[in-house]
């Protein structure tokens, strides 16, 4: 039997190509977080697109740029150095292979835990970064702290828009049922930095007007994802009518993606948005995404006060642990919620 080395296998890993859509989407809902009606606008955007961007956020631009620069420095290291931070099972450095079930893309990435309660694999990776890339590690820590706060703020505003939070006599809001999951110190959140190098010129793809797929179509399993990228386009989302549109990059805003768990919590009022990334022919793309998830033992079930009289849950009852376990058995493009829908 001939055993192929990892390097040979990686070289022949077939990555799909796509005709990139010329359909630039100019209708991305833009929510100003300091607008008194932000909650209502967010609810509309979650229901219509499962995708929007937020402006007037409190994350310093300096921090975004610092992390972008440090990330590039990490990815520009020799392959052998980067491999020391791998494999991504589930936290670590990965190249081309995405998840455990055969998905591939023109991408390299780092996945880290963003929960205070981290396990041994995560601790090892964080210590490795601390020793080898202390400035990168510091930028990640500072950035994750900020985007976590932003994720909670956005979800609290959504809760306000849905009428789920009450203001007490002192003018404080009580804790909403979804923001509570993200605030929880056991919240199972993670953070990912993706690097999409330019598609190589010699590939026949360059001539055909097609692009290599960077990250194949999928929905995010968590509650909410907070995405930031450099100025290179490539992100596409699928609209309700099934058409794919390309999202112009915007370094001063954050893009927010509704995940499967939020779809279930709202009994389908909000839809998790299918999205994908195509690699560019000339520029490299870096994106940084915080995935806000619930604690593992938490039941993901529609929020009772959102249900109309007589309305039934569209989903079987399950915990985030069960959903996550099932997600890691799936392929990227699978409709993961299907297994949990009531028939």
- Active-site residues, by number, are 285
Q: CB under 6 A: which stretch of 64-72, 98-106, 135-143, 272-280 binds ligand GA4? A: 98-106
Contact indicator for 255, 169 with CB cutoff of 8 Å: no
In terms of Cα–Cα distance, which of 190, 185, 199 is closest to 277?
A: 199
Closest distance of CB 104 from ligand GA4, Å: 11
- Look-up of token digits 């937020």: 54
Is residue 188 involved in binding ligand GA4 (CB under 6 A)?
no
Other Cβ atoms less than 10 A from the Cβ of 289: the count is 20
Distance CA 298, CA 68 (A): 33
Is residue 260 involved in binding ligand GA4 (CB under 6 A)?
no
Residue from the set 6, 101, 174, 252 that interacts with ligand GA4 by CB under 6 A = 101
Pick 224 or 245: Cβ nearer ligand GA4? 224
Residue from the set 67, 111, 227, 237 that interacts with ligand GA4 by CB under 6 A = 111
Pick 104 or 162: Cβ nearer ligand GA4? 104
Is residue 258 involved in binding ligand GA4 (CB under 6 A)?
no
- Helix/strand number for the chain, H first, E second: 10, 15
Is residue 195 involved in binding ligand GA4 (CB under 6 A)?
no
Q: CB under 6 A: which stretch of 126-134, 154-162, 305-313, 329-337 binds ligand GA4? A: 329-337
In terms of Cα–Cα distance, which of 149, 163, 178 is closest to 258?
A: 178
Residues in the chain: 343
Q: Reduced to 3 states, what is the DSSP secondary structure of residue 63?
A: helix
Distance CA 311, CA 275 (A): 30
Is residue 332 involved in binding ligand GA4 (CB under 6 A)?
yes
Task: Specify the long-range contacts of residues 234-237, CB closer than 8 Å, at least 24 apart.
Answer: 234/196, 234/277, 234/278, 234/279, 234/280, 234/285, 235/275, 235/276, 235/277, 235/287, 236/20, 236/21, 236/275, 236/276, 236/277, 236/278, 237/25, 237/49, 237/51, 237/273, 237/274, 237/275
Pick 31 or 114: Cβ nearer ligand GA4? 114
Closest distance of CB 91 from ligand GA4, Å: 9
Strand partners, 289: 192, 227
Residue from the set 156, 220, 260, 280 that interacts with ligand GA4 by CB under 6 A = 220
Closest distance of CB 98 from ligand GA4, Å: 5
Q: How far is CA 208 from the centre of its chain?
A: 30
Q: Which residue is nearest to ligand GA4 (CB)?
A: 99
Residue from the set 218, 274, 275, 276 that interacts with ligand GA4 by CB under 6 A = 218
Binding mask 285-314 for ligand GA4 (x = CB under 6 A): ------x-----------------------
Q: Under the rule (CB under 6 A), what is the footprint of ligand GA4?
A: 90, 98-99, 101, 103, 111, 190, 192, 218, 220-221, 291, 327-328, 330-332
């Amino acid at each position: 039997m001939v055993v192929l080395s990892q390097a040979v296998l990686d070289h022949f890993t077939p990555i799909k190509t796509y005709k990139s859509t010329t359909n630039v989407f100019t209708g991305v809902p833009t929510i100003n977080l300091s607008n008194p009606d932000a909650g209502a606008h967010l609810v509309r955007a979650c229901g219509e697109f499962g995708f929007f961007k937020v402006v007037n956020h409190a994350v310093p631009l300096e921090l975004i740029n610092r992390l972008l620069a440090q990330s590039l420095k990490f990815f520009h290291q020799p392959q052998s150095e980067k491999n020391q931070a791998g494999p991504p099972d589930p936290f670590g450095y990965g190249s081309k292979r995405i998840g455990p079930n055969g998905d591939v893309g023109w991408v390299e990435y780092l996945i880290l835990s963003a929960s205070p309660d981290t396990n041994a694999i995560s601790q090892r990776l964080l210590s490795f970064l601390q020793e080898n890339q202390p400035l990168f590690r510091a930028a990640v820590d500072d950035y994750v702290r900020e985007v976590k706060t932003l994720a909670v703020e956005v979800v609290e505003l959504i809760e306000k828009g849905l009428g789920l939070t009450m203001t007490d006599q002192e003018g404080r809001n009580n804790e909403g049922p979804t923001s509570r999951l993200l605030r929880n110190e056991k919240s199972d959140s993670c953070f990912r930095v993706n690097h999409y190098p330019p598609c190589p010129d010699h590939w026949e793809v360059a001539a055909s007007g097609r692009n290599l797929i960077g990250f194949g179509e999928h929905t995010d399993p968590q509650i909410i994802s907070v995405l930031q990228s450099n100025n290179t386009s490539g992100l596409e989302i699928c609209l309700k009518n099934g058409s794919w549109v390309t999202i112009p990059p915007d370094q001063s805003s954050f893009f927010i993606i509704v995940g499967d768990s939020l779809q279930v919590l709202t009994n389908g009022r909000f839809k998790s948005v299918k999205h994908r990334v195509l690699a560019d022919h000339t520029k490299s793309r870096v994106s940084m995404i915080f995935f806000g998830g619930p604690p593992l033992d938490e039941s993901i079930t529609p929020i009772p006060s959102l249900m109309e009289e007589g309305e039934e849950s569209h989903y079987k009852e399950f915990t985030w642990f069960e959903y996550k376990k099932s997600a890691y058995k799936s392929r990227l493009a699978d409709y993961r919620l299907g297994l949990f829908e009531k028939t």
